[in-house]
Amino acid sequence: METKIKTRLGCSAALMVLWLVAEGCSSGGPTTPSPRSNGESFEVTGVVTDDQGAPVAVATVTMRYWLGGLISAPSVLTDASGHYTIAFTSNPWLIGTSGRGAAQAEIFDLGYERYQRTVLATSSNLVENFRLHGIQRIAAGDSLMLSIAPDDGECPDASAGPCRIVRVAAPADGRMTVEALSTQPAAEQPQVVVCCVSGNERDGDPVILSVTVGTEYEVQIGLSRGNTTSQSVLLKTSLAPL
């Protein structure tokens, strides 16, 4: 399959703008929320844990949302038990047939994969729990088994569905091939994006690109939105000399 190149956006706010425009186009509705400054009030509470169920303290929880035609992004820190509460007022946007988005939740902690997920505007009081995965690193030429679950974060670039992120380091100059394969019969084939290559991303399956010794590349493996079952995926990499 041919590898495609996409320009990477420099900040989350710009990414959210383009993502919302795409959402509006696909749903047949307006490309941006109504610029009403009064908006709708939401309070979101929940717990941030790791993949073993242990609370993650002092993680940054950000809610990025529209209000009056502008993007705001307030943040709070989780307490010692992983709990957080954050309140905001936003103009929800349409998400195809999935409903309305109140905000994009972004969870950050240095020891874990990046996590983002759309918070649906189903009520004014929402409970959103987030499960983080520790950062995984492999060298080009190695393989790794992954499980992608419905409650994993959404891929920033690979898809709008659940996502896992792996960092792949190049032990030498060469051409690296990255491929993700479902290990379950008749299961959806995951999408792959490798970031960032000279400021860009490359997607496809497989993705083939030139790599430089000592450089670490972010590989996103994502499923489509609406996926409701966990899926096992084999991430395969290889490295050939130039």
Q: What is the pTM of this model?
A: 0.80
Domain holding 17: CATH number?
2.60.40.1120
Q: Amino acid letter at 164? A: R
In a domain, 216, yes or no: yes
Least confident of 12-26, 56-70, 111-125, 129-143: 12-26
99 and 194 both lie in a single domain: no
CB 216 within 8 A of CB 187: no
Question: What is the DSSP code (8-state) at residue 55?
Answer: B
Cα–Cα distance for residue pair 229/160, rounded to 1 Å: 15
Domain holding 212: CATH number?
2.60.120.380
21 and 100 both lie in a single domain: yes
29 and 87 both lie in a single domain: yes
Tally of domains in the chain:
2
Domain that holds residue 48: 12-132
pLDDT band at 12 (very low <50, low <70, confident <90, very high): very low
In a domain, 97, yes or no: yes
CB 165 within 8 A of CB 114: yes
Cα–Cα distance for residue pair 173/175, rounded to 1 Å: 7
pLDDT band at 225 (very low <50, low <70, confident <90, very high): confident
In a domain, 150, yes or no: yes
Q: Is the pLDDT assigned to residue 29 strictly greater than 50?
A: no
Q: Amino acid letter at 206? A: P
